Amino acid sequence: MTTSARPLVLLDVDGVLNPFRRPSSRFARHECVVDGCSYQVLLDVRHGEELLSLSEDTGAELVWATTWEENANEEIGPLIGLPRMPVIKVMAGAGAARGEHFKTGPVAEYVRGRPFVWFDDELSPADWEYLTEHPDVGDFLLIEVDPRNGLSGWDIDRAREWLAAAQG
């Protein structure tokens, strides 16, 4: 359970920070090792700067919502300049009951009424419905990131505008 009243920015890795193709030369290839397995990821260091700016400008807390879980703090964050961040244990979820993403239940339990923006590439109307009906979820914005290109300036601007409006 979280105790802060700050809004949240939930962040996925694959398809969001690590797009499925190299959309520009700004993305550098990195090798990450998780549980003895090597993974190639494409990362843009500017994403770290943009997310930190978003957090500072809006007072939002950055939180990992990714299957990388704590490995995101070890392997991804340092490569793009992000500090250690809280992690939602999305792999501990019970699974999707009505077509929502398997991460959606753990996200709903984590947010505890705090407003949040969620950057992910696999969100659907079923996730919006689940979150809308969940008693512990307040205001939220789901931003479905294009997994071919990853997180865009437009995605971050949308989050910034929504967080500013949510704060009054």
Is residue 88 situated within a structural domain? yes
Residue 3 maps to a domain: no
Q: Is 121 exposed, middle or buried (0-12, 13-18, 19+ CB in 10 A)?
A: buried
Q: Is residue 131 part of a domain?
A: yes
Rg (CA), the chain: 15
* Residue 77 lies inside a defined structural domain of this protein: yes
pLDDT at 45: 97
pLDDT of 107 over the 50 cut: yes
pLDDT of 80 higher than 80: yes
For residue 55, give both structure tokens.
């957090």
pLDDT at 158 over 90: yes
Mean pLDDT over 132-155 rounds to 96
Q: Are 46 and 57 in contact (CB under 8 A)?
A: no
Reference 18, options 85, 71, 55, 57; nearest CA is 71
For residue 22, pLDDT beyond 50: yes
Instruction: Using pLDDT thresholds of 50, 70 and 90, give the confidence band for residue 81.
Output: very high
First vs last C-alpha separation in the chain: 25
- Is residue 2 a part of any domain in this protein? no
Least confident of 10-14, 32-36, 75-79: 32-36
Each residue of 84-94: pLDDT tens digit? 999 999 988 66
Show the domain range for 44.
Answer: 8-166
Task: Count up the domains in the chain and report the number.
Answer: 1
Would 79 be classed as within a structural domain? yes
Tell me the mean pLDDT in the region 130-159.
96
pTM metric for this prediction: 0.94
> What does pLDDT average to over the chain?
93
Among 4, 103, 86, 11, residue whose Cα is nearest residue 48: 11
Segments in 13-168 forming alpha helices (H): 45-58, 71, 77-80, 104-111, 125-133, 153-166
Look at residue 63 and tell me if it is in a domain: yes
Confidence check: pLDDT of 122 > 90: yes
> Which pLDDT band holds residue 98 (cuts at 50, 70, 90)?
confident
- Give kind and range of the element (H or E) at residue 145: none
Answer yes or no: is pLDDT of 95 > 70.
Answer: no
Asked whether residue 2 carries a pLDDT value surpassing 80, the answer given is no
Classify residue 105: in a domain, yes or no.
yes
CATH number, domain of 83, equals 3.40.50
When pLDDT is cut at 50, 70 and 90, the band that residue 1 belongs to is very low
